[in-house]
Amino acid sequence: MAQAETLLEEKKNGYPWRLFFFLLFCSLLGVLAVLPYLSAVLASSTLTLKPLPLPLPILALIQGVTNFSIAIGLGLWFARKLGLGAPILEAWLYRKSYPISPRLVAISCLTGVGLGVMTLLLLRSPIGAPLASLPVATEGVMPLWKRFLACFYGGLCEEMLMRLFFLSFLLWLFGKCARMSHPARSRIIFWIANLVAALAFGAGHLPLAAHLVPLTFPVVTAVISLNAFVALGFGYLYWARGLEAAMLAHFAADLVLHVVGPLF
């Protein structure tokens, strides 16, 4: 009875609290999963890092709870205003009927693999030449389990931040500016927002790159453009198929880039 009353209250309020806490839990798992990889990458840097006031996992969890509570909380609010979100997860958490399509899973995974392969080829072309000195470019020497766990951060955390929150926010904002009641239905508004979000996603990788190599113009251009390239695909899947599709594609792309790619 208490569970039924809670469900009715959540529906009445119109905010998916179960989904919020589930995504927050997943985001913290993603934060912890990337720490071994991040520690290995930073250890290969020639820069001297300042001592941390607390152990890295504790600091990461504190920052993660703060950042992702805000991002997920606002992201779900914007998404519901736009008719976007995570329909499969929400249906599962609220015991609604929402059949999982094997075709959707296949499309998402194949899209991610395709984006990962194309990015890998670009990294090994003149376009990616400025990044050849990055320790990440030679991460084949890193233990496989560290590279595998890092993929969960991209698939979970980055999609919550950049698609659920930031892309949804941009769509909502541009819709307000254009005085549109349903901005997510406009392809023009979507692609403008998706491009801005993709460029921001690429720029978000610059701080880590700055710890490893000087941020010359070619390095900045390569980091932003290559990351923005894959982000456009993830953004489209989020808009067309839901957050779960973007997460699957991002995870598959990272598997290609961080797990399979370094083997060749």
Task: Find the radius of gyration of the CA atoms of the chain.
Answer: 19
| pLDDT for the residue numbered 140 | 58
| pLDDT for the residue numbered 90 | 92
Res. 212: pLDDT tops 80: no
CA distance between the termini of the chain: 57
More confident residue, 133 or 103: 103
- Give me the chain's average pLDDT, please: 88
| pLDDT for the residue numbered 135 | 56
| pLDDT for the residue numbered 7 | 41
| pLDDT for the residue numbered 44 | 66
88-97, 130-139, 178-187: range with lowest mean pLDDT? 130-139
Res. 180: pLDDT tops 50: yes
Chain centroid offset of residue 159 CA: 3
Q: Rounded mean pLDDT of 176-181?
A: 92
Helix (H) or strand (E) holding 29: helix 17-43
For residue range 3-29, what is the model confidence (pLDDT) as tens digits?
334 444 444 458 999 999 999 999 999
More confident residue, 231 or 134: 231
| pLDDT for the residue numbered 45 | 63
Q: Rounded mean pLDDT of 45-53?
A: 65
Task: Give this prediction's pTM.
Answer: 0.90
Q: Rounded mean pLDDT of 184-212?
A: 93
| pLDDT for the residue numbered 255 | 96
- DSSP secondary structure of 62-131: HHHHHHHHHHHHHHHHHHHHHT-S-HHHHHHHTT---PPPHHHHHHHHHHHHHHHHHHHHHHTSGGGGGG
| pLDDT for the residue numbered 1 | 38
